[in-house]
Amino acid sequence: MTIAPAPDRVPPTSAGLRPLLGRLVRRPAGAFGVAVVAALLLVAVFAPHVVPYDGATQDIPNRLQGPSGSHLLGTDGLGRDLLSRILLGVRIELAVALPAVCTSLVLGLLLGLVAGYRGGWVDNAVVVFMDTIQAFPSVVLALVLVAVLGPSLTNLVIVVAITFAPQSARVTRASVLALRQSPFIEAERALGAGTLRIIGVHVLPNVIAPLFILLAMNIPSAITVEAGLSFLGMGVQPPTPSWGVILSEGFADVYEAPWAVLWTALALVLTTIGFTTLGETLRDVSDPRLSGAKGLRYDR
């Protein structure tokens, strides 16, 4: 004996990329993130053509100078122009972070798909593997692996990719497990749909959004790990102007001239904030359920 509800139309749900970008930019945080990331990409592409110095030529008489007209951010211990080196460094950072994070996503996607879909001992093995990787703080694991494999840009990419893979593996696995129990997958299977079809049509679209968010969130983490390792001399090697290298060289002279460390630290902070706000806003506008990326670790 209740009032019959007036028929209500369900609003159409369109999850296209264009409206997503629009919603992203409409939020101040999102706009900020997009602006920072776009600026970094531009710098990465065009820096070699626009920097005032080549960043490699030494000028010992003018070493450790503060900001001035000829060197906007000053010079380092070998008299090299800091602005040029930091701008050129953007390219190095992205050259490590982008391939490393993308590889980790693909690796994690495959692991998560296999684990979630096969189940049984395969799943257990993958979980133990992921737990083992995550039993180390990521800097420590990366440090040990790079130390063993030898410090180089390529090894750095591989190591960061391995270190970060468990996150996306967990996201994918959880999503597969959730889907496996849903009635419509049962129905699909009863209708004879193959494994590949189910993965392609149902699983992938469900994990793509969270993986994109992980992409944005993990790039700053990758840069942080790279710069940290290079700072310790275990990553990119001098004279390549990676930010970690600039920090490391600047740290040697920090009491005489803090400029190198200061500017690089600020560049790193800006980059990190930019990518993180982009990732967080992306998460908020696409799927509020994913709030709290830190919580993803124990989603078993």
Partner 1 sequence: MATYLLKRLGMTVIVVLAVMTFLSLLVHLVPGDPVEIVLGPQATPAQVEVVRAEMGLDNPIPIQVWDFVVGALQGDLGLDFLSRTPVTQLIAQAIPHTVVLAITALALAALVGIPLGVYAARRQNSLADRAMALLSIGFITMPSYIAALLLLIVFAVQLDVLPAVGTGSFANPLDYAIHLVLPASALAITWIGYVARLVRTSMLSVLGSNYVRTSRAFGVRDRIIFYKWALKNAIIPTLAVLSSGLADLLGGAVLVEIIFSRPGLGRLTVEAISERNFPVVQGAVLVIALFYVLTNLLADLSYRLVDPRIRVEESAVGA
Partner 2 sequence: MTDDGRIKNDPYLLEVDGLDVTYHSQGRALAALQDVTITARPGEIIGIVGESGCGKSTLSAALLGLLPPNGEVTGGRALYQGRDLFTLGPEERRRLRGTEISMVFQDPLTSLNPTLTIGSQMLDVLRAHSPARADRAEARRRIVEMLERVGIPDPAARLRSYPHEFSGGQRQRIMIAMALLLEPALLIADEVTSALDVTLEAQILQLLCDLRDERGTTILFITHDLGVVAQICDRVVVMYAGRTVEEAEVTELFDRPLHPYTEALLASVPSRRRRGSELPTIPGRVPSLAELPEGCAFANRCAHAEPCCGEQRPRYVEVTGQRVRCHLYDPESGHANLRQPSAATTGRKEQP
153 near partner 1, rule: CB under 8 A: no
The alpha helices in the chain, defined as continuous H runs, are 17-26, 28-50, 82-118, 120-133, 138-149, 153-180, 183-190, 195-198, 204-231, 243-252, 259-286
Q: How many CB atoms neighbour CB 197 within 10 A? A: 12
138 near partner 1, rule: CB under 8 A: yes
Q: Say if CB 121 and CB 184 are below 8 A apart.
A: no
Q: Say if CB 281 and CB 27 are below 8 A apart.
A: yes
Find the shortest distance in angstroms from Cβ 23 to partner 2.
16
Q: Which of 234, 245, 278, 282 binds partner 1 (CB under 8 A)?
A: 234
Q: Which of 228, 238, 284, 286 binds partner 1 (CB under 8 A)?
A: 228
Q: What is the spatial distance between Cα 226 and Cα 16, in angstroms, rounded to a whole number?
A: 34
What is the secondary structure of 260-272 as a DSSP string? HHHHHHHHHHHHH
Q: What is the spatial distance between Cα 260 and Cα 245, in angstroms, rounded to a whole number?
A: 10
Q: Which two tokens stand for residue 298?
A: 């124990």
Q: Which one-letter amino acid corresponds to residue 127?
A: V
Q: Which residues contact 76 (CB under 8 A, 6 or more apart)?
A: 63, 64, 82, 85, 246, 249, 250, 253, 260
298 near partner 1, rule: CB under 8 A: yes
Q: Which of 132, 154, 182, 195 binds partner 1 (CB under 8 A)?
A: 132
Q: Which of 143, 159, 160, 236 binds partner 1 (CB under 8 A)?
A: 143
CB nearer to partner 1: pick between 198 and 268: 268
Find the shortest distance in angstroms from Cβ 268 to partner 1.
6
Find the shortest distance in angstroms from Cβ 296 to partner 1.
13
Residues that bind partner 2 (CB under 8 A): 1-8
- Identify whether 28 is preceded by a cis peptide bond (ω within 30 of 0): no
Q: Which two tokens stand for residue 108?
A: 């994690």
106 near partner 1, rule: CB under 8 A: no
Binding characters for partner 1, 257-276, by CB under 8 A (x = yes): -x--xx--x--xx--xx--x
Q: Which does 96 bind (CB under 5 to 8 A by kind): partner 1, partner 2, none?
A: none
Q: What is the spatial distance between Cα 296 and Cα 170, in angstroms, rounded to a whole number?
A: 8
Closest CA to 126 of 176, 186, 74, 185: 176
139 near partner 1, rule: CB under 8 A: yes
235 near partner 1, rule: CB under 8 A: no
Q: Which does 5 bind (CB under 5 to 8 A by kind): partner 2, partner 1, none?
A: partner 2
149 near partner 1, rule: CB under 8 A: yes
What is the secondary structure of 194-225 as a DSSP string? -HHHHIIIIIHHHHHHHHHHHHHHHHHHHHHH
Closest CA to 86 of 208, 225, 232, 246: 246
Find the shortest distance in angstroms from Cβ 123 to partner 1.
13
Q: Which does 4 bind (CB under 5 to 8 A by kind): partner 1, partner 2, none?
A: partner 2
CA atoms 276, 100, 295, 17: torsion sign: positive
254 near partner 1, rule: CB under 8 A: yes
CB nearer to partner 2: pick between 8 and 17: 8
Q: Which stretch binds partner 1 (CB under 8 A): 12-20, 53-61, 122-130, 203-211?
A: 122-130
Site residues for partner 1 per CB under 8 A: 29, 127-129, 131-132, 135-140, 143-145, 147-150, 220, 224, 227-228, 231-234, 247, 251, 254-255, 258, 261-262, 265, 268-269, 272-273, 276-277, 280, 294, 298
